[in-house]
Amino acid sequence: MGPWTLIGNHHFAGTTFMYEGAPDHPHPGRFWEMIEEHRITTFGVSPTAIRALRKHGDDVVEQYDLSSLRLLGSTGEPWDPESWLWFYDQVGGGEAPIINISGGTEICGCFLMPMPINDLKPGTLGGPGLGMDIDIVDVDGESVKERHDRGFLVARDSCPSMTKSLWSGDDRYLEEYWSTWDDLWDHGDFAQKDEDGFWFLHGRADDALNVAGRKVGPAEIEAVLVEHDAVNQAAAVGVPDETTGTAVVVYVVPEADATPDDDLAEELRALVGEEHGKPFRPREILFVDEFPKTQSGKVIRRAIEAAYRGEDPGDLSSMENPEAFEALRDAS
């Protein structure tokens, strides 16, 4: 929500309210309590946080007066439709639009964002933001957005707020953003434009699970699993497999009243197979108490994959709960 906070809000001399801590501590109504007490009008949150809070039920939200909310915001990862609708109906009262944006620190703006007056679909990012020349391309750099195919989100031209380089130097900047195709900025996400003109993201392209030659985003696997009554959260990663090239492994945080046993694991595997096909049935489902997350509630996916493979996860200074990473290692 950086562009809103740093540009839009300051431009109108607004007040920024920031909270550092877990969304459900000391109780699951922590966010709603702060909105009521401080009469917050614009509330930005990650989909992961909403998925976790939704599991506590509608009753928790209904205890608080959230009528001050005018706009809801989110960024950073794809939505599943059910959680998006819950956020819209239960938190926003069916009146506050969800401004789901995609941008980045390196552009200090929004490649994709709906306007508050636009129609919406669950999970959509609307369309290109103001002044943004955005496209969806295939591996050859050819536009596929009007074919409604899934492809890579790119910018065909720079915007005034876009960085000119990185602290580590020009070479890394050119390699990270401009080297995949000629004269295209590579955002790094899978995107798709539907027949009604709504744009959607499907997660990081480098996180895609390429199983037997077919690609699917982790979020699509996870969305199936979190709809099961016994599942609170799910995280899918790809691991090497001799037969399919990549196999799906899923870590699951079960509900408090669920029994995380082999029967439940097999039921969840079958659920994914029914939705996405037999090749995507998880090779393993591993139950854990929590996922490693940043302070903003985003799951650190590379740490989960590293835990399974027994590899070095790299810099984990942003991790709020390092004990969760160790627990993942023990479960793998």
DSSP output for 133-190: -EEEE-TTS-B-GGGT--EEEEESS--TTS-S--TT-HHHHIIIIISSSTT-EEEEEE
Tokens 């690609």 found at? 215
pLDDT of residue 159: 83
pLDDT of residue 40: 96
pLDDT of residue 205: 78
Sheet holding 185-193, edge to edge: 134-137, 151-155, 185-193, 199-204
pLDDT of residue 116: 92
- Structure tokens belonging to residue 130: 């103001």
By CB atoms closer than 10 A (0-12, 13-18, 19+), residue 330 is exposed
Contact predicate 28/60, CB 8 Å: yes
Q: How far apart are CA 226 and CA 320, in angstroms?
A: 23
DSSP 8-state class, residue 46: -
The pTM of the full predicted model, rounded to 2 decimals, is: 0.77
Q: How far apart are CA 69 and CA 243, in angstroms?
A: 51
Tokens 């877990």 found at? 22
pLDDT for 118-169, tens place per residue? 999 999 999 998 889 999 999 999 999 999 998 999 999 988 888 889 888 8
* Type of residue numbered 29: G
Strand partners, 215: 210
* Type of residue numbered 258: A
By CB atoms closer than 10 A (0-12, 13-18, 19+), residue 166 is middle
Q: How far apart are CA 62 and CA 313, in angstroms?
A: 40
pLDDT for 258-282, tens place per residue? 999 999 999 999 999 999 888 899 9
Which residues, given as ranges, of the chain have pLDDT below 50?
none
> In order of start, what are the domains of the chain with their CATH numbers?
1-96 (3.40.50.980), 205-331 (3.30.300.30)
User: In Å, what is the CA distance from 198 to each residue of 126, 220, 224?
Assistant: 5, 18, 22
pLDDT of residue 185: 92
Per DSSP, the three-state class of 272 is helix
